[in-house]
């Protein structure tokens, strides 16, 4: 009996997940993934934040292999 309950529960959860995926597809959640990736790396996001300069990370310009 408990096996039937677990099977029905897993099918129900799978259908809920499938419905959520189709809802996201219809509401434009996956329309422009390339634009979203470029927006994260835009120059406006690279502006210095508030705080002390020594708290910000800088690239390492020294070659440590020599």
Domain around 15 = 1-28
The answer to whether position 22 is within a domain reads yes
Would you state the structure tokens that stand for residue 44, as one six-digit string? 């406006």
In a domain, residue 36? The reply is no
Residue 2, in any domain of the structure = yes
State residue 48's pLDDT score: 55
The answer to the question of residue 56 being in a domain is no
Please indicate, yes or no, if residue 12 is contained in any of the structural domains: yes
- For 1-39, how does the pLDDT look when each residue is reduced to its tens digit (9 = 90+)? 899 999 999 999 999 999 999 999 999 887 877 776 777
- The answer to whether residue 66 sits within a structural domain is no
Number of domains in the chain: 1
Confidence of residue 57 (pLDDT cuts 50, 70, 90): low
Is 19 inside any structural domain? Answer: yes
Sign for the pseudo-dihedral over CA of 13, 19, 25, 29: negative
Question: Is 45 within a domain?
Answer: no
């Amino acid at each position: 009996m408990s096996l039937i309950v677990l099977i029905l529960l897993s099918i129900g959860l799978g259908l809920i997940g499938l419905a959520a995926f189709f809802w996201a597809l219809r509401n434009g959640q996956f329309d422009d993934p390339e634009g979203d990736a470029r927006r994260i790396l835009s120059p406006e996001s690279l502006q210095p934040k508030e705080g002390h300069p020594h708290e910000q990370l800088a690239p390492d310009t020294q070659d440590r292999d020599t």
